[in-house]
Amino acid sequence: MSTGAKKRIMREYNECTADTPAGMKINFDEQNMTEWEILLDGPDQSIYAGGHFKLKMTFPTEYPFKPPVVSFKTKIYHPNVSNDDKGSMCLGMLRADEWKPPNKVVAVLRLIQALLIEPNADDAIEPSIANEYKENRKEFEKNAKDWVKRYAK
């Protein structure tokens, strides 16, 4: 990783700590600055309220010319998070072809939070969950809350 990229990550981190979105905590290790651990509380107005989610944000070697990779370490029932051991979230600005080098990490954090409040079923990674979200919202909410209780307490 180039020194420019490291400088950029450092600056992004400083900006994030100065302006951390509510309900979020970033664990930053200067020895391994390309992997951030993010602790995220389910937003109050969302069905994930009360849950505590652990996320990992990984900065690729090519950062900022490639997007950071976001993955949920805590299982979550969500159309935009893959239902596997990776728990990857890849949409919008996190997609390689939509990522812009000037994008800020704090904007990524806000995107994650916004997606918990309102999933994007049209750009889903889990089509069956997305379907359920669109067609049987009750069932979806029940399942999501169920998972929060099971995995995210």
Three-class DSSP category at 112: helix
Closer to another protein by Cβ: residue 2 or 27: 2
Q: d(Cα 5, Cα 92) in Å, to the nearest integer?
A: 22
Residue 134 in the binding site for another protein (CB under 8 A) = yes
Least distance to another protein, CB of residue 36, Å: 18
Residue 88: both structure tokens together: 């990857």
Q: Which residues partner with 88 through β-bridges?
A: 71
- Region binding another protein by CB under 8 A among candidate stretches 4-12, 18-26, 32-40, 111-119: 4-12
Residue 34 in the binding site for another protein (CB under 8 A) = no
Using CB under 8 A, pick the residue from 10, 25, 44, 65 that binds another protein: 65
The neighbour count for residue 38, using CB atoms within 10 Å, is 22
Closer to another protein by Cβ: residue 129 or 148: 129
Omega prior to 67 cis, within 30 of 0 = no
* Catalytic residue, candidates 1, 26, 49, 90: 90
Using CB under 8 A, pick the residue from 101, 118, 136, 150 that binds another protein: 101
Q: d(Cα 66, Cα 57) in Å, to the nearest integer?
A: 13
Q: Is 16 a catalytic residue?
A: no
Residue 45 in the binding site for another protein (CB under 8 A) = no
Q: Counting beta carbons within 10 angstroms of the beta carbon of residue 90, is it exposed (0 to 12), middle (13 to 18) or buried (19 or more)?
A: middle
Least distance to another protein, CB of residue 109, Å: 16
First to last CA, the chain: 36
Residue numbers annotated as active site = 90
Site for another protein, rule CB under 8 A: 2, 4-5, 7-8, 11, 62, 64-67, 91-92, 95-102, 104, 122-125, 127-128, 130-131, 134
